[in-house]
Structure 1
Amino acid sequence: MLLPALLSLLTLTVHSVDLPHLPLVPYPQHVSLLSSSSALIDPLTFTFSTTSSSVLLKEVFDRYHKYLKLHDFVQKLNVTLPNLEVVIKDPDEELLLMTSENYTLTIQTNSAILQADTVFGAMRGLETFSQLVNTNNYSLPTLHIEDYPRYKFRGFMLDTSRHYLSVGVLKQLIRAASWSKLNVFHWHIVDDPSFPYCSVVYPDLCRKGAFSPHHVYSQSDVLEIILFSYKHGVIVLPELDTPGHTLSWGAALPGFLTHCPGHGNIGAPYGPVDPTNEAVYPVLKELFTEITNVFPGEFVHLGGDEVHYPCWKSNPNITAWMAAHNMTGNYDQLENYYETRLLNIVNSLNKNYIVWEEVFYHHVDITPQTIVHAWKPNWKTIFQDATAAGFRCILSAGWYISRIAYGEDWQNFYLVEPRSFNDTATPEQKALVLGGTVCMWGEHVDNSNILSRFWPRASAPAERLWAPEYLTDVKFMEPRIEAHRCRMVRRGYPAEPTLSRGHCHVEYTWATHH
């Protein structure tokens, strides 16, 4: 699908001069061409074979069979490669952040083998194999690939509070994320505007806090998304952001929020959670107990950003409580008090957590396992300070793809490097940077436009998180990201163009895919 016109755009730096011109996104760690010969497959008869008993792997095979068979017309081929043999060392490996996604892929004219430590590594290798298929003549290059992710945490964040996203659209976004080898779905499920998560212990939260009874996620919806994500090698990371960003909680929980007329959030007379109300903490204990039971991942995201201090300051009951506890005038201390209580609750549930950077900078007593999530422009200072203190970090600053600009703005995302925060940082500090998360905040997206706005722009940071560090040549990425976009279109996904002119071999039409 990589057009000759796109190949002509390819100019290489000294770092990429020896790399084969392959339409792969993200680009593998190591690629060696074996010969100038090609392997030929028949997509209608080609098979994947394995001795593994993994049921999940069989489902992955079915998925990639369908991708291979997306064709308009196939002439009778002189087939040289009838199947791909897939070998897995550990078919029962759990899907965790540190689960191996390594694989090797060897393609010769008449044989091919994919070897991986786990089913999830095999998923990544099968995606690479599918990307190598030239759908004009169903040929593949003969080569050897050794591949693994440079960063273990390769996330994408979706905000389902500001505008609701249907389960079907979430699945489409998760599926596309697997095509770019992202592995964490950071689900910013609730916020000020709405509370669409239907809790079992507090059902009124979604009954009174959602936009409508139709704009909610039932427990079965949530489990469906978790299972779908697992089948695509994606961990679901839920975020319930507190004490700020909680206006939607208020209708169901009287007294939970701070009453502060004229100083509240988005025009309301209420602001953050009231940390001085002792009744708040049993609610948090029950709710987070539920969340940690529903979501099987290792982590929960606890938020902690943008707490609106003027609301607390204007409430006389809070100021009196603070004075009685020797916190007069210091609202960082009040937030610290709240966060410490919340973190103690989550610690008791044996769940690790991620927090926005403010929690670290307000000197909350976080555990050594805490991951600090940087989102502000001064992220390099944050990474320097947090890693010096021994904390692991992930990056979102520079990867807010909800912000759009005229032209090929994916190039700006492509140039962000999470480990470039300090030239004098020690190797141990750099190793504490786990990766990052591409963020799509929901102010201006819903079912109508999020798919095309998200992809393939998110593929640029996805490559940064997987591919070799030296691979920063935008010109080398240009034809590959456009080929990746066309591949998405061929698979029925409305990915937007990356170049100012051109076309895909297969054009997306709404009627065809609905």
Structure 2
Amino acid sequence: MAFQISNRKYYVLTGIVILTCLITLTLTVSFIVSKTKDISIENPNHSISSPAKPVWKWQCEKNSCQKRRITDQDNDLAILSLPACRYFCSTSAGIWPIPTGEVSVGDRLIKVNYYSIDVVSNTSDTPINALVQEAIKEFKNDIKSSITSGINPGGLSVVVSLGISDTTTNRLTLDTPEGYSLKISDPGSSSIKVDIQAGTFFGARNGLQTLTQLIIYDNIRNEVQMPNSASITDKPAFAHRGIVLDTSRNFITTSALKRTIKAMGASKLNTFHWHLTDTHSFPYESASLPELHRIGAYDPSKVYTRQDVKDLVEYARVRGVKVVPEFDAPAHVGEGWQDTGYLVCLNAQPWQIYCVEPPCGQFDPTKEGLYDAIEDLYGDMLEQFEPDVFHMGGDEVTFKCWENTTSIVEWMRAKGWGTTDRDFVKLWNHFQSNALERLYKKAGREIPAIMWTSHLTTPEYLVESLPKDKYYIQVWSESDDDQIKQLLDNGYKIILSNSDALYMDCGFGSWVATGNNWCSPYIGWQKVYENNPSKIAGDKVHQVLGAEAALWTEQADSSSVDGRLWPRAAAMAEVLWSNASTGWEAAEHRFLAHRERLVLMGIDADAIEPEWCRQNEENCRTGSRFNV
């Protein structure tokens, strides 16, 4: 006889099964949530055990950390996490960039109570106190970002004292002292004392950044640790340590800009050179000339508003970074200027005749009204950025554009000029001298101007066009270019952005033709690290203000800017901070650890090698002592 069940009984049984499943699911979710709360670092009283007994330890062998199995015979103190091994095994406790003065660190790591790290300063009721308080928040957030699991309770409290001599300076300039001293006293029974002394807020912030790196997370014991003692004195070798980022070819979101600035602060770079506009778009909101961004932005949502700029400048200041605006002219202008009457050659074709990349566009220097418009634009930027220097661009002017503009040629002939290169240099000088005069007028002083290397910086025109007491020259040609020597021999101060080592956009496919882009191949971090200004400038290195890594964004946008810049720009950061004289091999382990640090801070820095190689140092490099 077949088994049968009534519809009524069927529905009852089905309901019971469903109810049972829901109860089971609810209990399961509750259990998972409770466990998730258990491992939160916001709960200081809960003891977190590792999900399984640790299998691996690291030990320092011949200045590198080697992965080894933990055995029953191991003393607990001998079981080192990888961060702890790097502290003991790396030069200068793994600090990046390596300090330039005394470095003495303790021989043991002490468990720290993460929830009891306090920073006090002598800046209350001073003009810089707000900056100091924001920097302290950043310091604590950076420590928190290194904690990858739970924290076991206990540990010593930490009290950090900030002593700042100059409590009024809140703007970074080329002359601002950035050095600091840091001392960790061997602790008593309850707390560890840290003393950071600096001349300015910016030096104190650098000291906090170093302390961030001395506080590590031990993922074997699930605890925060720091050395029992330390004494460090430190200051940068070069005053100008920067990144130039183009936000015109492709718009870069403010969140991506903030990630760049955060990584700069973590690496002790101090100058964000903002290439705001170009022929492709005009995304900057000018209060005086609002039609420029209304016409020239890619989209109304792709504009840097006045509030955006204010927020970014302050965000950068807290992280020890100044923002230097660039308005590139008389070339590299186009979108946004269509209705002004000051623009020629916009999107002229074939573009190869009129400019170096599409779309073309240059100012018409014969239009007197142009200088009023430029003056207004300078005024807006000076008011918002308050820079100690101003970047006027001035590169890649194409004389063919002017030569093919009838009104310009007629104006030149009326002055008795011809149409040779020297005559067009006169026209260019007419623009540059008028633009500089307007910059001075708005600044209320003779603010130093920066110009890219160009036709004007060749020996034939240099001294008469760009007086050395008015201009710094930023070099984008290759490191062996004769122009560098000529600039130095003529007494100019320079900033290096030599394309053979510091152009972060090199090594990708061409976007205007087949094959690779013009500055290929890709530049590895090792070449960036070997690009020392002392090697390039020799005995005139004192005329080198510093250097900038450059990212032009024809083939990069907000989704890729992190990986293009980082961690390679951090390699340059160490060279500029320490004037490193050793090769990249000696810095490799610290560099890889710093890349991991950036990733934990939320920077999408490119991977340099497989993680296995990072966990087994010196086993992967060609010619290493472990290779046959």
TM-score by length of 1: 0.89
Name the structure 2 match of 1:484: 594
Aligned to 2:533: 418
> How many residues were matched structurally?
490
In structure 1, distance between residues paired with 2:595 and 2:335:
37
Which of 361, 367, 384 is the equivalent residue of 2:485? 384
Structure 1 residue aligned with 2:453, among 357, 360, 363? Answer: 357
For structure 1, the residue ranges without an aligned partner over 5 or more in a row are: 12-17, 506-514
Letter in 1 for 2:200: T
Contact 2:537–2:544 (8 Å) recurs in 1 = no
**1:49 equivalent in structure 2:** 120
Q: Distance in 2 between matches of 1:208 and 1:216?
A: 11
Residue 96 of structure 2 corresponds to residue 25 of structure 1: yes
Bigger mean CA offset, 460-469 vs 485-494: 485-494
SS at match of 1:237: strand
Distance 1:334 1:317 in 2: 13
**Distance in 2 of aligned mates of 1:7 and 1:83:** 34
- In the alignment, what sits opposite 1:129? 211
- Which residue among 415, 432, 441 is the counterpart of 1:348? 441
Could you tell me which residue of structure 2 aligns to residue 289 of structure 1? 379
What is the aligned-residue RMSD (CA, Å)?
2.5
CA–CA distance in 2 between the matches of 1:213 and 1:89? Answer: 45
SS of 1:421's partner is: helix
Structure-2 change in CA distance of 1:411 and 1:139 (3 Å): same
Q: 241, 263, 266: which is aligned to 1:176? A: 263
Residue in structure 1 matched with residue 80 of structure 2 by the alignment? none
What CA distance in whole angstroms lies between the structure 2 residues aligned with 1:274 and 1:168?
36
Picking from 137, 149, 169, the partner of 1:93 is 169
Q: Paired residue for 1:400?
A: 503
Report SS of the residue matched to 1:28: coil
Q: Which residue is equivalent to 1:15? A: none
Please say which structure displays the higher CA radius of gyration.
2
Shift of 1:294: 2.0
Considering fraction of residues, name the structure with more helix.
Answer: 2
- Residues 19-168 of structure 1 correspond to what in structure 2 (within 5 A)? 20-53=91-124, 54-70=129-145, 71=147, 72-79=149-156, 82-95=158-171, 96-110=173-187, 111-136=193-218, 137-141=223-227, 142-168=229-255
**Offset from partner CA, 1:202-236 (integer Å, 9 cap, x none):** 11111111111111111111111111111111111
Does the residue aligned with 1:502 lie in a helix, a strand or coil? helix
Q: Measure the CA separation in 2 of the matches of 1:389 and 1:479.
A: 40
Shift of 1:8: 6.9
Deviation at 1:422, TM superposition (A): 4.7
Answer whether contact 1:205 1:252 (CA < 8 A) is retained.
no
Alignment of 1:153-232 (within 5 A): 153-232=240-319
Amino acid at match of 2:591: I
- What is the 5 A alignment of 1:312-351? 312-328=402-418, 329-330=420-421, 331-349=424-442, 350=445, 351=447
The change in CA–CA distance for 1:403 and 1:186 in structure 2 (over 3 A counts) is same
Contact 1:209 1:252 in 2 (8 A): no
Distance in 2 (CA, whole Å) between partners of 1:275 and 1:344 is 14
The residue type equivalent to 1:50 in the other structure is S
More moved, 48-57 vs 123-132: 48-57
| TM-fit CA distance, 1:411 | 0.6
Give the Cα–Cα distance (whole angstroms) in 2 for the partners of residues 189 and 464 of structure 1.
27
Distance across 2 between alignment mates of 1:318 and 1:419:
44
Give secondary structure in 1 for the equivalent of 2:329: coil
Query: Which of 474, 487, 494 is the equivalent residue of 1:373?
Result: 474
- TM-score normalised by the chain length of structure 2: 0.73
Cα offset for 1:36? Answer: 1.9
Deviation for aligned residue 1:6: 9.6
Change (3 A) 1:271 1:258: same
- Which residue identity does 1:56 align to in structure 2? L
Q: How many Å separate the matches in 1 of 2:320 and 2:526?
A: 27
Q: How far does the alpha carbon of each residue in 1:297-325 deviate from its partner, in whole angstroms, 9 at most, with x for none?
A: 11110001001111112222222222332
Q: CA deviation at 1:65?
A: 1.5
AA matched with 1:188: H
- 1:272 maps to which of 347, 362, 384: 362
**Residues 165-200 of structure 1 deviation map (CA, whole Å, 9 limit, x = unaligned):** 111111111111100001111000001110000111
Q: Following TM superposition, by how much is the alpha carbon of 1:281 offset from its aligned partner in structure 2, in angstroms? A: 1.7
Structure 1 segment 488-507 matched on structure 2, within 5 A? 488-502=598-612
Distance (Å, rounded) in 1 between the aligned partners of 2:170 and 2:467: 27
RCO comparison, higher one (Cα < 8 Å, 6+)? 1
CA contact (8 A) 1:237 1:301 kept: yes
Q: Look up the SS of the partner of 1:99 in the other structure.
A: coil
1:310 matches 2:387: no
1-structure distance, mates of 2:491, 2:182: 37
